[in-house]
Amino acid sequence: MALTRGRLRARTAHAVASACFLVLLLLLLTSSSLFAPIGRSNAAESDEGGTTVLGAAPSSSSSSSSSSLFGKGRGSSCEELQSISGGEGRCAYLRAHSPCSPAGYVDYLRLFYCGFAGALPAAACAALALWLVVLFYLLGDTASEYFCASLEGLSAALRLPPAVAGVTLLSLGNGAPDVFASVVSFASGDGGVAGVGVGLSSALGGALFVSTVVAGAVALAAVGARGGVVVEWRGFVRDICFLLLALCYLLAVLVSGETTVWVAASFVSLYAGYVVLVWTSHCCAEKGKPAAAAGLSAPLLRDDDDDGSPSLPSHCSKTEGTSRARAMLHCVAGALCMPLYLPRRLTIPDIAGHRWSRPYAVASAALAPVLLAFTWTSQRDNPLSSHSLAVLVGGALLGLLLAALAAASTDARSPPRGRRRRVPWLAAGFVMSVLWAYTLARELVALLVAIGYVVGIKPSVLGVTVLAWGDSLGDLVSNVAMAVHGGPGGAQTAVSGCYAGPLFNTVVGLGLSLALAAGAQHPAPFAVPADAAAYEAVGFLGAALAWALFVVPVRGMRIDRVYGVGLIAIYLCFFAVRVLETLGLWS
């Protein structure tokens, strides 16, 4: 009885200490947001069309190099567009000027004000919202079905150690939507701060969402499934400390207001150090483990030469247990999804056992070079020039050659066998899935910025909320399912993913974006237009990491309800601050 009372007092003391620590964090964050540096953001937001992200008039050489690398240039600032009243006046302005927002293949502002001029504004907004959902689905589905499959196949074919594959190829697969969105946002920001603001806010917002809401949901799910779970302290502390280090590095860049290629490259090198540390600790840990422990990674890195995955059933095939109405419903769903499925299936080489089809493989070998050539020529100022036509003809000829080789070297009954035959297909699938993901992310960022201008919400606010949520919903579903159904090992993996994933997205995603943007401005430094939203995201993310480092060791490395509720409370406070600032009730 005395022992039980002692444990109860200890738990009460830990709970009181945790609650006091959480309240202190929230008070510090709420008060510090009043002193967020706004001078630089105001200067960035007041840029006119004749300036660049650097805040100074660019030379013709730097402007042309940035435009040629990152796509078509933009015209004057969209703030001038917002100062015009009436849809007809804005349509006339957009017809007379080049696009002021990040340009995808569709000029969404011109489509809204000119294309939907005779429609109800609610119908036009609903159409843009529906297309936004479709782009989110296509980006996530491309990353999961094609990009991750190619990465897992490459990790198996190259026989990478499980720890190295987990923090390199598989982390890239899980964070592909965030990384692509960040790179595209910075790439489209050469004509204004909107694209860069979306990229910075979405990366920080995604890291904050995963480290708070997803981690908190994993903790609550683990409590509901098995009363909590104890995590391994070395990996937990290592991941959080590296993420804190990356956050401090990024904060120094934001405070300085500018970066160079070498600073951005050193930021990316942080992840290389993390990979080396993980590999070293994995090798040291494996020396003391029996050989049977290596089987834990077998499903992830198995050799797909013995792929026994069953073939996917046809949507229109009728089985004994399927009713006619359900079969018709599957046929209708398949017909509706076909326009979203077929273009990617015909251009992304795919040798997964359950999706293998020789006609699709030959078609993808023929059309992939054509799509690459078209994407290259579409980024040029004159897509119909003789050089562009030569590139398209060369892509078509290369496609015919590759299609003939694919038809002669593949079997209709099974995908290619052996490492030498599989690696070229996997590498081609990797390249084409990257191209599709980049194109979709470019459209997604362009649409999100356009919606922000139409609705009157800062694009950075949309990036830290809508774009971050859309890119992180997959992490929420997969990590919670792993924590519930994967046993103690699955819960450990889910918790690790809540910090290793944001670390990869922050360091590699933002670091690569900054390096590419700074390279386009080299030797001049690239200015990072950080507003209050970026500083608030950094502050609340640091608070969430400090909360995890404090609570979990105090409670015996147990992931429980106190840890989960505290993380979700931190994110709710951050979201409340953003809502109040958007409504003008907090500054």
Q: What percent of the chain has pLDDT over 90?
A: 14
Q: How many residues does the chain have?
A: 587
Which of 342, 282, 264, 325 minimizes the C-alpha distance to 508?
264
Better-scored residue on pLDDT, 141 or 29: 141
Which of 573, 580, 568, 581 minimizes the C-alpha distance to 209?
568
Give CA–CA dist 384/404, Å, rounded.
Answer: 29
Which stretch, 154-168, 242-256, 306-320, 463-477, has highest mean pLDDT?
Answer: 242-256
Contact assessment for residue 200 and residue 517, using Cβ atoms and an 8 Å cutoff: no
- pTM score of the predicted model: 0.62
Q: What domains are defined for the chain?
A: 97-283+422-586 (1.20.1420.30)
pLDDT tens, 283-314?
776 555 543 333 333 333 334 444 433 333 33
For the cut 50, the answer to whether the pLDDT of residue 317 exceeds it is no
Both tokens of 541, joined, read: 């993310």
Which of 411, 410, 381, 376 minimizes the C-alpha distance to 391?
376
Q: Phi first, then psi: what are they for 527, rounded to 5°?
A: -85, 135
pLDDT tens, 499-543?
888 898 889 888 888 888 888 888 888 888 777 778 888 999 999
Which residues fall within 8 angstroms of residue 358, CB to CB, at 6 or more apart? 407, 410, 411, 412
Contact assessment for residue 467 and residue 444, using Cβ atoms and an 8 Å cutoff: yes
For the cut 80, the answer to whether the pLDDT of residue 100 exceeds it is no
Average pLDDT over residues 234-239: 86
Contact assessment for residue 546 and residue 241, using Cβ atoms and an 8 Å cutoff: no
Which stretch, 13-22, 101-110, 448-457, 505-514, has highest mean pLDDT?
Answer: 505-514
Which stretch, 7-16, 74-83, 452-461, has highest mean pLDDT?
Answer: 452-461
Contact assessment for residue 438 and residue 177, using Cβ atoms and an 8 Å cutoff: no
Both tokens of 304, joined, read: 């797909």
Better-scored residue on pLDDT, 77 or 501: 501
Which stretch, 28-42, 94-108, 361-375, has highest mean pLDDT?
Answer: 361-375
Give CA–CA dist 109/120, Å, rounded.
Answer: 15
Mean pLDDT of all residues belonging to the chain: 74
Give CA–CA dist 566/212, Å, rounded.
Answer: 8
Task: Give rounded-to-5 percent helix, strand, coil for the chain.
Answer: 75, 0, 20
For the cut 80, the answer to whether the pLDDT of residue 550 exceeds it is yes
Give CA–CA dist 199/212, Å, rounded.
Answer: 20
